[in-house]
Amino acid sequence: MSENIALLDMDGTVANFYEALDRDVRAILGTDYSTVSDRTRRMLEFTVRQKNGWYRDLEPIPFGIEIANLLREIGFDIMVLTKGAPRTLNSWTEKVEWCQKHIPFAKITITEDKGLVYGKLLVDDWPSYITRWLEHRPRGLVIMPDQRWNREFAHGQVARVSTSKDLEALRPTLEEIYKR
């Protein structure tokens, strides 16, 4: 693998984790969350995620796959960088299976600390992971797919994208990063 590594988050970026989790918890609770405590909701989410095949069967997010394909077209080596949940061990194996099916050209790293992993750029939707990664990457760039949970986050090294047009506008910058 070269130095031209693009790190690609899985959950919420290329795999439809959050919608699937919401759907499956609502299937247990019904549609009314208002009477359920945060603790109960978290316990139900944990139960859902432990189900055999849950991670493996997540639907891909087409725009996330489009981002991966553009980075690959530019020449980056794609590495999926996903957080492994210590209490849902099935996630580790099933995330690998998911990647092999949906983005077979990618290498895979499962970690508990994304900030420790090298890449020239990171594609991620979660602000705390982005902030941690940028602590060690003064020249790094983050591509942030726009999500409702990250709309308040802004950083000078973060490019927010929500459409193919946004992504194409970013292409010259990505090509420059690839060449340095």
| CA angle at 13 for the pair 15 and 105, rounded to the nearest 5° | 70
Q: Are 5 and 76 in contact (CB under 8 A)?
A: yes
Give residue 79's pLDDT band: very low, low, confident or very high (50, 70, 90). very high
Task: Kindly report the pTM of this predicted structure.
Answer: 0.92
Question: Could you name the CATH architecture of 5-16+60-179?
Answer: 3-Layer(aba) Sandwich (3.40)
22 contacts: CB under 8 Å, gap ≥ 6: none
Could you state, in order of their start, the residue ranges of all structural domains in the chain? 5-16+60-179, 17-50
How many angstroms separate the CA atoms of 66 and 82, rounded? 18
Q: Which two tokens stand for residue 78?
A: 């794609």
| pLDDT the model gives residue 84 | 84
Q: Which two tokens stand for residue 6?
A: 């693009």
pLDDT higher than threshold 80 for residue 31 = no
Give the pLDDT confidence of 148-171 residue by residue, as tens digits: 999 999 999 999 999 999 999 999
Would you say how long the chain is, in residues?
A: 180
